[in-house]
Structure 1
Amino acid sequence: MTINDVRAAGRTAYPWLRSMAVTASLLLFGYGLLRLIGGLGGHRDKSAWPWMIGHTLFLFGIVAFGAVIVGLHGLLRATSSPLRAVDDVAAVAGLLGAVGFGWVILGDLFPRFADAVNTPGLVLAGGPALFELGLLTLLFRAAFVRLLPIWGPVLVLVGFASIAVQLDLLPIGAALVLAGLLPLGGSRPR
């Protein structure tokens, strides 16, 4: 199967991939904006509406990113690459990380849940790292097989890095992630 065949198959077999990537990025952007609004008074009240709605958007965004991971993995499986094992490990890592991320967000939204399950520190630290590592590996692999321009995963990496440096940069980081994911499932990369 040629790269053009894979691209065409990706547009027909995974027509939702681009819209899911855009949705995930916009949900992350909304979370970032609400996080900034919630912090305007100098402190963040976990019971205030911006915090609650923002974290809910964040949770839905992580679920949408999980769907993006599944779609990317499916597209990459259609290529005749000798690196299928890398794709499989990256997808599993990304999805495990998304589950860990979701677990942490649920604990933030529902303190009784956090108290009842006693979230281990490994989930707190490992979830986001596995999620980002898995997603970025799949994105760089997609760029390697020319399903995505190389600047796409680079922008996603810079977006995630900016968020890691300062959470107040969430809207900017989300905009970079959106720009990096926008070519997914679209026309042929240049």
Structure 2
Amino acid sequence: MKRLGMVAAGLLVAYGIVRLIDGLDGSHGPGLAWTIGHLLFLAGMLLFAVVLVLARGELVRRRGVGAAAVVVGLLGVAAFVRVILVDLMVGFRAEDRAGMSRISDEYERWPGNLGIYEPLSTVGPALFLIGLLALAVLLVLDRRLPVWSPILLAAGFVVITVNLDLMPLGGLLLGAAFALAVRPAPTVDAVRTPDPGNRRDR
């Protein structure tokens, strides 16, 4: 979980940097930077989906609550992935920013007219944050994460929400939260029980 979380956060940092480069001309997309940036973003979110599942697997207690947090977080990831895929398809088809605005209207109901995409796009980021933060708090209670990790996660999302141009900083904060993850301490029995292979015949 620790390494994947750091890699996922690193991909967000990379996306943020590419996004800044893409906006140097005053607009974002379409073009190579738009595509590369969104592919990095997509890879990062898919890795975060794996992180959610792995985090729940590391829980010692409250695994039922952890499972609920995973479901909530994955709904948020799904919302992000849909938006990213739409942005990629629009970017592939459009020749300029004005064209992107026109074409994006065609994907308001993609995939299928389920009537959930608008509210899901609105609450999706919050669902992802709630799921990830809940798991982080549970891991703090299990002494797998320090108390600073949930704080850094929340700070990272706040920074990104305030201004997408701060995505690199937000990604660094998220990465720091995962970097603080610790290995479970060995149990007393594991420390005291000798290895049979090390016993000597007397």
Cα deviation code 1:152-189 (max 9, x no counterpart): 1111110111101111110000001101111235476x
Q: Secondary structure at the match of 2:64?
A: helix
Provide Cα deviations, 1:91-110, integer angstroms capped at 9, x if missing partner. Answer: 11011211111111111111
Larger radius of gyration: 2
Please state whether the residue corresponding to 2:26 is helix, strand or coil. coil
Task: Say which SS state the counterpart of residue 149 (structure 1) adopts.
Answer: coil
Counterpart in the other structure of 1:114? 107
Q: SS where residue 184 of structure 1 aligns?
A: coil
Q: Report the Cα distance in structure 2 between the residues aligned to 1:69 and 1:184, rounded to whole angstroms.
A: 14
Cross-structure match for 2:11: 27
| Corresponding position: 1:71 with 2:54 | yes
Q: Normalised by the size of structure 1, how large is the TM-score?
A: 0.81
Maintained 8 Å contact 1:108/1:114? no
1:9: which partner in 2? none
Match of 1:137 in 2: 134
Do structure 1's residue 18 and structure 2's residue 6 form an aligned pair?
A: no
TM-score, length basis structure 2: 0.77
Aligned residues: percent identity? Answer: 39
- Output aligned runs, 1:42-61, within 5 Å: 42-44=26-28, 46-61=29-44
Q: Distance in 2 between matches of 1:52 and 1:185?
A: 36
Distance 1:186 1:29, change over 3 A: farther
Equivalent position SS for 1:110: helix
Q: Does 1:87 align with 2:70?
A: no
Consecutive unaligned residues in structure 1, runs of 5 or more: 1-16
Q: Deviations over 1:66-125 (max 9, x none)?
A: 11101100011xx1x2x3332111011011211111111111111378354367211211
Pairs aligned (count) = 167
Which consecutive residues of structure 2, in runs of 5 or more, have no partner in the other structure?
91-102, 186-202
